[in-house]
């Protein structure tokens, strides 16, 4: 029922499923760029020609961000500026082509108040793709620039309950004003954050799992644990084996192009590194990590779009995560961790 797809495996598998689709192709994502992903765009266009219903729900972020660059801000390097503007033009033309062919392209979460000036506020961070009876769910955006980042999507099939819940979230996204939980089966629950500032059932679940850990915690995110989670980790550090896996902070800063994001990340880095070095040393990587995994006692997993920091909660971000004890998912996540981070052993 579950298949774990890493990096470009996801894009290729998604395109193949779209090529065979007969009913629907629904994609919800924060960042969508078809530049150098022509095969995926062609699969979508061909599906529309066959009469398949195609709906793309893309965060407004994709209207003014390209490969980490805010196109509304001047880029000093002339060649780089031309390149970014070219990619943006390709993306906008791709969306137009989809609409002209008969598909729907909907930009969600139009910036309001603070989000007009600070682009990290009020985003839809959810990543879902639904092709007929297949569901893809995880942390991956769709863009060439994400191929080399450590991340994955779960493909779920042959489960009507999973499908109906994800369809409900996709179809009724704008109407969902409150955080919600969906019981999927005896082992699995889907957690939905509605983007209400200061509220996150996913963040609360992450703290609960860390607090109740008995033996092992593996924490994987592009960010170091924040103050609240650090406090719980530090309290458990004497009785629980803790592994924090993230990337070298310089890797993140070098990949971040907006001034406000760089300033925030630099501040977070300085404060958190002071705290972390007192208790435990994180496993740092020179390759960008974008996956979000909380793996506890080899029997509890929390995965999805949430980075497990309060900053996303403070910024009012829509998120989705799966909490599960399903043995098949546990095995897939354990295998992915061992393969992707062998130095973690």
Question: What confidence tens digit (pLDDT) does each residue in 252-280 have?
Answer: 555 555 454 555 556 556 655 655 554 55
Does 2-169 match 176-344 in CATH topology? Answer: yes
Residues 81 and 74 sit within 8 Å (Cβ to Cβ): yes
Q: Which of 112, 257, 163, 47 is nearest to 265 (CA)?
A: 257
* pLDDT, greater one: 204 or 261: 204
Domain regions of the chain by residue span: 2-169, 176-344
Which residue did the predictor score with more confidence, 62 or 344? 62
Res 262: pLDDT? 56
Q: What is the pLDDT of residue 11?
A: 97
| pLDDT value, residue 279 | 53
- What whole-number distance in Å separates Cα of residue 210 and Cα of residue 202? 12
Position 175 pLDDT exceeds 80: yes
CA distances for 139 relative to 107, 130, 145, 280, 322, angstroms: 19, 15, 14, 26, 11
For residues 71 and 206, the model is more confident at 206
Q: In the prediction, which pLDDT does 260 show? A: 46
Q: What pLDDT, on a 0 to 100 scale, did the predictor assign at position 306?
A: 95
Q: Is the dihedral of CA 134, 135, 139, 140 positive or negative?
A: positive
Answer yes or no: are the C-beta atoms of 272 and 219 closer than 8 Å.
no
Q: What is the pTM of this model?
A: 0.90
Residue 65 is predicted with a pLDDT of 76
| Domain 2-169: CATH class, spelled out | alpha beta
* Predicted pLDDT of residue 258: 47
Distance CA 164, CA 170 (A): 10
CATH architecture of 176-344: 2-Layer Sandwich (3.30)
Mean pLDDT score across all residues of the chain:
86
Query: pLDDT digits over 7-27, tens only?
Result: 899 999 999 999 999 999 999
Is pLDDT above 80 for 28?
A: yes
- The per-residue pLDDT for 88 is 87
Q: Exposure of 262 by Cβ count < 10 A (0-12 exposed, 13-18 middle, 19+ buried)? A: middle
pLDDT digits (tens, 9 = 90+) for 125-149: 999 999 999 999 999 999 988 888 8
């Amino acid at each position: 029922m579950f298949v774990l797809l890493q990096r470009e495996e996801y894009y290729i598998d998604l395109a193949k499923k779209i090529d065979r689709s007969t009913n629907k192709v629904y994609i919800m994502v924060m960042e969508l760029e078809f530049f150098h992903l022509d095969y995926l765009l062609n699969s979508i266009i061909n599906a529309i020609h066959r009469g398949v219903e195609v709906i793309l729900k893309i965060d407004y972020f994709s209207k003014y961000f390209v490969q980490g660059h805010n196109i509304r801000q001047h880029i000093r390097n002339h060649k780089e500026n031309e390149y970014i503007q070219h990619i943006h033009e390709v993306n906008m033309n791709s969306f137009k082509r989809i609409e002209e062919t008969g598909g729907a392209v909907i930009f969600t979460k139009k910036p309001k108040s603070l989000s007009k000036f600070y682009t990290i506020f009020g985003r839809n961070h959810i990543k879902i793709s639904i092709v007929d009876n297949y569901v893809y769910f995880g942390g991956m955006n769709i863009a060439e620039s994400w191929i080399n980042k450590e991340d994955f999507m779960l493909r779920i099939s042959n489960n009507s309950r999973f499908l109906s819940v994800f369809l409900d979230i996709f179809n009724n996204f704008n109407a969902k004003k409150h955080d919600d939980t969906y019981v999927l089966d005896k082992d699995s629950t889907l957690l939905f954050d509605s983007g209400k500032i200061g509220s996150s059932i996913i963040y609360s679940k992450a703290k609960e799992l860390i607090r109740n850990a008995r033996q092992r915690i593996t924490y994987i995110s592009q960010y170091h644990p924040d103050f609240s989670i650090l406090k719980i980790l530090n309290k458990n550090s004497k009785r629980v084996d803790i592994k924090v896996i993230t990337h070298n902070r310089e890797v993140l800063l070098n990949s971040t192009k907006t001034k406000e994001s760089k300033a925030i990340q630099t501040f977070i880095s300085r404060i958190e590194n002071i705290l972390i070095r007192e208790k435990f040393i994180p496993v740092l990587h020179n390759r960008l990590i974008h996956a979000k995994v909380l793996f506890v006692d080899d029997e509890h997993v929390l995965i999805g779009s949430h980075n497990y920091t309060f900053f996303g909660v403070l910024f009012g971000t829509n998120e989705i995560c799966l909490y599960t004890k399903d043995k098949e998912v546990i095995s897939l996540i354990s295998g992915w961790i061992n393969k992707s981070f062998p130095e973690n052993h």
